[in-house]
Amino acid sequence: MKFGTGIWVVLVAGVCLSCSRQQEMKEIRSGEIWPDTEGNHINAHGGGVMYHEGTYYWYGEHKSDTTCNAMVGVMCYSSTNLTDWKNEGVVFSVADDDSSDIARGCILERPKVVYNSRNDKFVMWFHLELKGQGYAAARAGVAVGDSPVGPFHFLRSERVNAGCLPFDMSQEEVALFDTLDGSHFKEWWTRPWEQAVKEGLFLKRDLEDGQMARDMTLFVDDDGKAYHIYASEENLTLHIAELSNDYRWHTGRFVRVAAGGMNEAPALFKHDGTYWMIASGCTGWAPNEARLFSAKRIWGPWIQHPTPCVGPDAEITFKGQSTYILPVAGRRDAYIFMADSWRPEHPSDGRYIWLPIRFSPDGTPVIEWMPAWSLNYFDKLSVEKQ
Ligand code: GAL
């Protein structure tokens, strides 16, 4: 699809208050066509952004016009200003080999990339479903590259943390877990089944072969430790799992968050020492109300708050589903909420919702609908705060 950049980009004269000089900032217009620097609608869905040496890299699913299956792979776009994105091409490609885990036509979703300074490598994790098996495989995949623009080389895909229980389970919880018996629950969605799910019915079912890992994100903490956060246990419970120092393996240390809460599409950030997580409910491609959680430590306890969204369509996350929260480089208190407005009938036409996060006086994030805004918004916020 070709579009003139004029459709999306409107120049606004904004005053950069922090540097007291007139600057031109381009607007971000959520839900509209977002042309790259060549005029093509950006094709990077379910994505995330990595900042590295002065440049932002936006990685996401390449979507075709007629299918949500992965026919191409993971795309990357680069930018220094968060509005003009250069297409860096396919940085991780599906394989022309049906015996490969990443065979063309598989489902490859929500890729995220982090930089590992210990070995100077870029590590990509993604949700993988094997070709022809619908969403049954529920695997995490990992690939590694020497450069932010790839190519990324596939390492493996698997269910995760086989043989490990959440390290924070109390003796009482382990005792209850031990009594769970899947054969008692022929029927789903009954009260006793829901209780058993909370106690770890599916955790137990998958203990030996590894836990399901679908919608996912990555988070690197200030101490350089990386975490994989994913929808597990039949999309009923989120897990936060520690990655090894090279970011390529799970260490076996993980916790469950909001057991039985049916959350997916997790996105995590840290502000003033508090961890915040935004997630969605499980309604497939259709939008639902965003969920907000916070914790003082990454391992929890995680507390649920009301939705952070405010304004028209706030109850359906402005027609979007969370995918990432982007800290704006070098700026305090500046975070961008990234979501996808899916179009399953024409997947490549899926739209992006990018909105600034502001913090209420008690520190709770608020995401207000704005059809158009520019990065100057954060200057205004910091002036208000002074
Ligand atoms: C969504 C999920 C997407 C995709 C879709 C398939 O709920 O967040 O990443 O998996 O379901 O229906």
pLDDT in tens, 314-369: 999 999 999 999 999 999 999 999 999 999 999 999 999 999 999 999 999 999 99
**Threshold 0.85, pTM exceeds:** yes
Contact 301, 280 (CB under 8 A): no
Residue from 212, 236, 285 whose mutation best tests the ligand 1 pocket (most atoms within 8 A of CB): 285
Both tokens of 56, joined, read 């932002």
Burial per residue of 106-130, b for 16 or more beta-carbon CB atoms within 10 angstroms, e otherwise = bbbbbbbbbbbeeeebbbbbbbbbb
Is the pLDDT at 10 greater than 60? The verdict is no
- 4 has pLDDT over 60: no
Amino acid at 178: D
C-beta 129 within 6 A of ligand 1: no
**Best substitution site from 45, 288, 289, 321 to test ligand 1's pocket, by max atoms within 8 Å of Cβ?**
321
- 276 CB neighbour count, 10 Å cutoff: 23
> With bands split at pLDDT 50, 70 and 90, how would you rate the model's confidence at 267?
very high
pLDDT band at 293 (very low <50, low <70, confident <90, very high): very high
Q: Amino acid identity, residue 86?
A: K
Give the distance (Å) from ligand 1 centre to CA of residue 285: 6
Q: Please state the rounded mean pLDDT for residues 293-309.
A: 98
In the structure, what pLDDT confidence band is assigned to residue 23 with cuts at 50, 70 and 90?
Answer: low
Rounded distance between C-alpha atoms, residue 320 and residue 144, angstroms:
29
Q: What is the C-alpha separation between 215 and 62, in angstroms, rounded?
A: 16
DSSP per-residue codes, 109-125: EEEEEEEETTTTEEEEE
Which residue minimizes the CA distance to atom 8 of ligand 1?
A: 265
Q: Is the dihedral of CA 155, 158, 163, 167 positive or negative?
A: positive
Whole-number pLDDT of residue 25: 84
Q: Which of 17, 42, 73, 37 is nearest to 374 (CA)?
A: 17
Q: Is the pLDDT of residue 1 over 50?
A: no
Strand 11-16 and strand 21-26: the pairing is antiparallel
Does domain 5-385 fall under CATH 2.115.10.20? My reply is: yes
Ligand 1 centroid vs 15 CA: distance in angstroms? 40
pLDDT at 104 over 70: yes
Measured from the Cα of 282, ligand 1's closest atom is 7
Tally Cβ neighbours within 10 Å of residue 288.
Answer: 18
| CA–CA dist 291, 233 (Å, integer) | 18
Confidence of residue 383 (pLDDT cuts 50, 70, 90): low
Domain boundary assignment for the chain: 5-385
Which protein residue's CA is at the shortest distance from atom 2 of ligand 1?
284
What distance in angstroms lies between residue 290's CA and the mean position of ligand 1's atoms? 14
Cα–Cα distance, 340 to 288 (Å, whole number): 12
Both tokens assigned to 94 = 């599906």
| 109 Cβ below 6 A of ligand 1 | yes
pLDDT in tens, 125-180: 999 999 999 999 999 999 999 999 999 999 999 999 999 999 999 999 999 999 99
- Number of alpha helices (DSSP H) and beta strands (DSSP E) in the chain: 5, 23
* Ligand 1 pocket residue status of 110, Cβ below 6 Å: yes
